[in-house]
Structure formats: C-alpha cells, structure tokens
Amino acid sequence: MASMEFTEWIRGRTDEQLRALVSARPELITPVPAHLEGLASRAGSPSAIGRVLDRLDRFTLAVVETLAVRAGPTPKEELRDLIAAAMRDDDRPRLPAAANGNAASNRNTDNGTASNRQAKNGAASSRRDADHDAARSRPGDPEPALSAALDRLRELALVYGPDEGLDLGPGVRKVIEDPAGLGPRAVDVFRHHPPEQLDEMADDITPGTEGSGKERLAAVLAAPAALVESVSPEARGALDQLAWGPPTGRVPNARREVRMASARSPIEELLARGLLAATGEESVTLPREVGLYLRGGRVHRNLPAVPPPLSGSTRDRELADRTAAGQAFSFVRSVEELCERWSIEPPGVLRTGGLGVRDLKRTAGELDLPEWVAALVVEVAHAAGLIAAGGGVDGEWLPTSGYDLWRVRGTADRWVTLAATWLQMDRVPGLVGERDERDRPLNALHTDLRRASAAGVRAATLGVLAAAPGMAPTRDSVLERLAWEQPRRRGPLRDQLTEFALREAEQVGVTGLGALSGHGRALLDGADPAEALAPLLPEPVDHVLLQADLTAVAPGPLTSELNRWMTLTADVESKGGATVYRFSENSIRRALDAGHGGEELVSMLGRHSATPVPQALSYLVTDVARRHGRIRVGTASAYVRCDDPALLDQITADRRSAALRLRRLAPTVIASRTSRAVLVDSLRAMGYSPVAESLDGDVIISQLESRRTEGVSPVRTVASANGLDPEVAAAAVRALRAGDAAHLARREPVDAPDGQVPRSPATATISALQEAIKQGVRVWIGYLDSQGNATSRILEPARMEGGYLTAYDETRAAVHRFALHRITGVAGL
C-alpha cells in the first residue's frame, strides 16, 4: 500500500521537481525507466537508497533516522519536537571510544567483581537523568533547519507526504540499520526466541495477561519504565553503556534460560526482564523501546543544525593564487620532463604490473622530487593517457602519441588536463610504498591502487576548502567538517584519502599555502580554469646565460622547445628560481648522437644566449664533434672501423679492451665477438666517441625522443557532484512522462469471441487487413501459435511490412508482431 502511495506521489510531482530528482540522483535514470512507476521502484531499491543516504549531512540524516524510528507517518509538529529535543545541550559526558559493543562484556558483572563501580554508575545515572530533564527544558527552534532538510528530502524522494503525515519512502527503513544507534523493536528482536521461553518471561513480567509471549513482551516493553526502575544499580549501569549506541554487546552464554526469581547477576536481571535480548550465543541487543526510554524519549543528542566552523590560518588570496600558479607550472614541467626521460630510458613493466621500486627511486632522483611526489606525477600522467605500457613482450613504460598532442598546447591548458585528471581519477598515489592485506608492497601504476571513493573524497575535500575562501583550514577541522557533511562515509580510509587530497592539491597547484586558489575554484565549479590561471603563470624565456665555467643559467622557465633542447645538450645541475645547466663531454656527445652537428650546436648556443658563447664551451663542442664518429661500429658480431690505423693500435693496446676479444682484420678494421651495442658502450667507457653504423655503412642516428606507444583512454569522467546536465534531465523527464501516459492508457485484456476461429483465403486476408489499417478498425483473426494450435485474437492493425503485421492485441493487452503466413483468416467485428 505504501508503495502505491509513493508511486502516486511521484506521479504528482511537477516536471521541475522530477528534473531536480533525477539531477540529484542520476543513477535513477541509468538507463531511463519505461514509466514513473519504474522510477518509483528504482528509487526504493537498496542500492539507490544507500547512495543517496551517503550524500546527506548529519542533520538531514538525523531527520531521516528520526522518521525511521517512528512506526508510520509522523506529523511535522511531532518531528519538530523530537528534533528540538535533540538540538538542546546535553550535560551528560560522551561515552569514551572504548564504550562500544564490547562494553557489556568488558563490564560484565556475572562474577560480581565490578559491583562497587557499577553502583556508582547507577547513582551517577540518576543525577544525569535529572540534568538531562533540565537540559530539555531549555528552548530551541529547529524550524528553519528542519524545513530546509524536509525540502531536500522531498526533492530526493526519501520523504513523501504532506506535513500532516510525513513518511519515509519504501525501502528506506530497511536500509538504515540501527537508526541513531537504536536497536530493533521488541517484536523483531524476540522473533527467533522459543515460544516457551517467551511465555515464561511474559508470565514473570506481566502475570495474568492474555496473548502470546511475544505480544505480551512487546506490550510491556512499549512502556518499560517500571521494568527499568526495578533493576539493581549495577544492571542500570550496564543499560547506560548501551543507551546511546551501539545497542549491541557481548556476554558469555547469552542464550541461557533465566527467570526473574533465579537471576543472580545484573546481566541475568536484564535478560529475565527482556531489557536485553539474546541475538546470538555471545551477543545481546537493547530493544528500541528500552533505548528510547533511557534516552528520555530523544532520538539524538547534541545534534548540530549547522556544520562545525573551520579553523586555520588566513591567507592573502593574491599571494595564494600566485603560489598555486607557480606550483601548477612546476607540476606541468615535471610531467613533461618525466615523459621526455622515459622516451629515452623507459623503465620496465613488472610481471605483476606497475613500476618497480628502484625505477621509482631513480625517477624521483632525476626529477629532483620526493618519492611520493614522483609517484603522483607518474600516476597523473598515466591516468591522463600520456604514458602507457608498451614496447614489446616484457613491456616498458613509454610516452604515448597523446603526449605529443598535449605537449604543444599552452601551459594553462596542459595544467587543466592534469588537474581535472587528478580530481576525477580513481587511483590513489598516496598509497604507493604501503603494503596490502597480504603484506605485499603497493607499487606505482599497479591496479591495486584503485579506490572507488577516491574521486568523491577529493571533490568533497576541495568543497570544504571552497567554503572558507582565503583560509588554509587545519587537517582536523577539515576532517570534522567532512564528518558532518557525510557522516555515513566516515572511516580510516576516508580520513587517509582526505589527507592525501590536501597534500596532493598543494602539489598539483589547486591550492596555494593551503587555501583554494581561484583557478582551483574554477576547476571545482566547472568553469574555465585556464582563463584564471594563464595571467598568473610566469612568462617563458627563450634565452640562457652562458658562463665561462661550462654552465648555463636559465633566468626563468624556458620555452618548451628550448627546455627540451637544453635538457638534451646539458645536464641539469640545480633547480629553483633559475635553473643551472652544465655542459660536459657526455652531454655534448648525447646531442651529437641525436643527429645534431657541431656547428649547429654552436649556432644554437649563440642564438639562444644573452651572453657571448664562452671560448671554452666552443672548444668543448668543437673537440667532441671532431672526435665524434671517427670510429665506426658495425655488426660482425660487431666490428670497429677507423680511417686512422694509429687510433686502432691504441684501442688494441689498451688493457681494458681485453674483454671485448678484438681481432685486427685490416689496418683500418677490428672485429669483435660482442654485440654492437655492448661494443659502443665499452668504447665510450674507455674515453672514445664511436658511433654505430648500419649494414650499408651509414651512421645510425639515435632518435632518443621518438619512442612512443599506443595511448590508452584517459581517466573516465565521473558524474559531477552538481548532478546531470539540465538538458539531459529535461529529456529524461519528457521520456518518463510519455512512457507513463502510455502505461496508464494500457487497456485490460478482453476475451476472444466464441466459435470457430476465422478462416479465409490468403489474398482475402491480406486485403481485409489492409482495409482495417486504412479504416482504423478492429478485426478478429485466427492465428497459429508455435505449436500449430489455432487461437483467436482481436487486433487493431497498425502496419504491415516484410511479411509481418504489427498490431495491438486486445486479447493480450500488448503490441505484437504477427507472421502473415500464420494468420488463418480475418472477420469483422
């Protein structure tokens, strides 16, 4: 009955209200139901209810729990009184964290060892009850917060009905287990007890009453004051431990048979009176009616109607934005440098997937970053589709073709891609280096780093920062605010993900000095972050300052192309406000191996230097270029070829060449049994500058930056916290209305006429059906089913094509397609 009322209530919502519903709960139209009855049914499913409850703040969830405690519809006035009582201050101290479900076991008084302590608890409980009554008398007006919460709950279809009879939607009570820390009702908690035991308990508690034991127990526990006041102070102390939840405890031999006359311990007193019910061999539960009495009729206590205030340091917004912009620029350059280095020396893919620990340490050293920041850079680059596994059977981590497209874009646009990827990806870089449940290390790029709640926690954390513009909230205040905003999602993992989100946001450049930046707010709101970020980014420079000590100083961030060229030609010596590059024989040879000539290098240095090219640097480039390529290494297994026999004499005489097993074939040729790659590397280690040549004698140029792999799809965009696109929501509502109209217009099946089924020639049948379609009239046909049995059907023909007739079958109350060769005949009605 409630389900039908709820369906009619959904059907009575306006289009605007339905659009708000499907926008706030997009899972209800994935896919779009056929009609509004299907929408109502899906809204009452446990999974859909659990999702929407997870989005409620503490106050709104408390309203739902208060209604869940009530058996049926509740007037708004009664609900207001219950919420007002919960919002008033409570002088009773909070239970410590240890006072959980084990409290009844830890404080078990079956052996009588804690009687003195519990006697004190009982006396203190009486004093607290008096203070509690005084606290309830203090005024409080929950009306504004309650009305706003009810509007929100009606919009989400969790609460329906008028103010005179508010009720929860179908299925909500089943999803909420132990609402507000209260246990099941007495009729439910004693459901599985033996009837004989319940009869004995009822005879002890309410002698002379009629009915089954369960019914009599439920009746007396509906007003448990007399039973609670009749127990000893020790037993009352045990009840107080369970009063505010959790309502369960552990005691040995919970299913023992005990009577009021034979009770010897406080726990047995409670079991004999039904104030505790055994739910297992060692578990007991406090019935809901008893819990409400112990709470003085309140469902909650210390219920705040507004979120807790954030505390932290105030930041200058302009300074925070500039700081975040600088960090955003650094993060983009770190990703670019990672891809460039991995295109030259790609790390291998582990057999179990992911990046090796040593490779991550090497990458962190090359990028001059802490390991956790390097893991963040690697993970974001992978999620954005800039790097992927490729390179053959064993696999290597290589840049993708998507990296080349990303690299040529503006810095602000490149950052938006990375920041949006970080915000929406389900991977948790902060877990890199920790160990899983099997005590195995979690590697970067491993599939075990996925957490479904990661994106939601990041968005919620940034939402908290957005609520305090110009402030850098403390970690504890952020966690406290999130606990109020989404109390059902609390837990150690959420706290850990929140801490990761705060430190990663600073590193990515979404926050600056702990405060949300302007471009970070635009990213969160779905605006254009690049427009806000671009004016704050440093202007890239296209020159360096060459110095006589073979170093070059970049006075600012270099342009992308110049940065790549400098990284190839020189080694980065230090980073900071100005990057220092050092030229060496190895770095010059690296550029020559990539295909650059000596004169070209000197020309490039002169063109991009604000100072003259030092003579020492020109000599270094010229000398390395002169010696570069004089020795040629090919395949014999490998050979060494040189036009200068004296240089080959020098190589063969060198003791370090003994391992190469060289043999002189001619004055200008030496053969080796090692591979060409090993021979080249060995000769370079000996101080020579060989180059590799092909079978045709051509020099092989090492295209160090050309290694790429096929890209993977970037991170999937998750549903926005702001709901569906308005056009999508409007289209879904139109489809629901149309489907519901057709559903309501459906006619009930009618009986087929009596007598023999119609039979007529095939040509007459076709003509009669064509005429019925033209006139729009009903006909009576005979039809052979799949077993060859003749049946009667009353149809409204719609169209005829491809050997089939599409018609509305009134005998089945549905649209069907009928094979023309199975129609035995047609008769008019």
Q: Which residue has the tokens 């552990």?
A: 250
Q: What is the C-alpha to C-alpha distance for residues 183 and 291, in angstroms, rounded to an integer?
A: 8
Q: Please, are residues 296 and 82 in contact by the beta-carbon 8 Å criterion?
A: no
Phi/psi at 285 (nearest 5 deg)?
Answer: -135, 145
Cα torsion 267, 273, 279, 280: sign? positive
Q: What is the C-alpha to C-alpha distance for residues 332 and 410, in angstroms, rounded to an integer?
A: 11
pLDDT for position 115: 34
Question: 91: closest CA among 54, 44, 138?
Answer: 138
Q: What is the C-alpha to C-alpha distance for residues 331 and 415, in angstroms, rounded to an integer?
A: 8
pLDDT for position 576: 67
Spell out the alpha helix ranges (H) of 113-232: 115-136, 143-155, 172-175, 186-189, 195-205, 213-221, 225-229
Q: Please, are residues 774 and 756 in contact by the beta-carbon 8 Å criterion?
A: no
Pull the structure tokens for residue 407: 């690299």
Q: Please, are residues 35 and 739 in contact by the beta-carbon 8 Å criterion?
A: yes
pLDDT for position 107: 35
Q: What is the C-alpha to C-alpha distance for residues 188 and 722, in angstroms, rounded to an integer?
A: 40
Domain boundaries, the chain: 100-139+178-297, 312-536, 545-610, 630-692, 762-828
Q: What is the pLDDT of residues 604-618, one digit of tens each?
A: 888 888 888 888 888
| Strands, E assignment, 518-566 | 545-546, 551-554
Q: What is the C-alpha to C-alpha distance for residues 656 and 811, in angstroms, rounded to an integer?
A: 98
Q: Please, are residues 202 and 216 in contact by the beta-carbon 8 Å criterion?
A: yes
Q: Please, are residues 806 and 815 in contact by the beta-carbon 8 Å criterion?
A: yes
Q: What is the pLDDT of residues 652-677, one digit of tens each?
A: 888 888 888 788 888 888 888 787 87
pLDDT for position 96: 32
How many CA within 13 A on the CB side of residue 223?
2
Q: What is the C-alpha to C-alpha distance for residues 527 and 769, in angstroms, rounded to an integer?
A: 59
User: Distance between terminal CA atoms of the chain?
Assistant: 40
Q: H/E element holding 4?
A: helix 2-11
Q: What is the C-alpha to C-alpha distance for residues 302 and 59, in angstroms, rounded to an integer?
A: 11
Question: 272: closest CA among 338, 204, 210, 209?
Answer: 204
Q: Please, are residues 580 and 551 in contact by the beta-carbon 8 Å criterion?
A: yes
Which DSSP state fits 738?
Answer: H
Q: Please, are residues 257 and 197 in contact by the beta-carbon 8 Å criterion?
A: yes
Q: Other CB atoms closer than 10 Å to residue 42's CB: what's the count? A: 16
Q: Other CB atoms closer than 10 Å to residue 274's CB: what's the count? A: 27
Q: What is the C-alpha to C-alpha distance for residues 185 and 221, in angstroms, rounded to an integer?
A: 9
Q: What is the pLDDT of residues 756-798, one digit of tens each?
A: 788 888 888 888 888 888 887 888 888 888 788 888 888 888 7
The CA dihedral of 441, 445, 451, 454, to the nearest 10 degrees, is 120
Average pLDDT estimate for 203-220:
84
Q: What is the C-alpha to C-alpha distance for residues 136 and 818, in angstroms, rounded to an integer?
A: 72
Q: What is the C-alpha to C-alpha distance for residues 651 and 77, in angstroms, rounded to an integer?
A: 100
Q: What is the pLDDT of residues 532-541, one digit of tens each?
A: 998 988 777 7
Q: Other CB atoms closer than 10 Å to residue 393's CB: what's the count? A: 4
Q: What is the pLDDT of residues 383-439, one digit of tens each?
A: 999 999 886 556 889 999 888 889 888 889 999 999 999 999 999 999 998 887 788
Q: Which residue has the tokens 């006589």?
A: 548
* 633 strand-pairing partners: 640, 692
Percentage with pLDDT > 90 across the chain = 28
- Domain 762-828 fold is SH3 type barrels. (2.30.30)
Q: Is 582 exposed, middle or buried (0-12, 13-18, 19+ CB in 10 A)?
A: middle
Q: Please, are residues 706 and 568 in contact by the beta-carbon 8 Å criterion?
A: no
- Name the residue type at position 235: A
* Residues 6 or more apart whose Cβ sits within 8 Å of residue 280: 254, 255
Q: What is the pLDDT of residues 531-586, one digit of tens each?
A: 999 898 877 778 888 888 888 888 877 777 787 788 778 888 877 667 888 888 88
- Alpha-carbon distances of 468 from 58, 169, 440, 458, 661, rounded to whole Å: 20, 35, 40, 16, 72
Average pLDDT estimate for 277-281:
87
- Name the residue type at position 240: D
Pull the structure tokens for residue 537: 């980014």
Pull the structure tokens for residue 218: 């439920």
Q: What is the C-alpha to C-alpha distance for residues 176 and 49, in angstroms, rounded to an integer?
A: 9
Q: Return the minimum-mean-pLDDT range out of 46-50, 164-168, 461-465, 626-630.
A: 626-630
What is the pTM assigned to this prediction? 0.69
Phi/psi at 166 (nearest 5 deg)?
Answer: -75, 140
| Residue 332: pLDDT band with limits 50, 70, 90 | very high
Question: 801: closest CA among 827, 825, 770?
Answer: 770
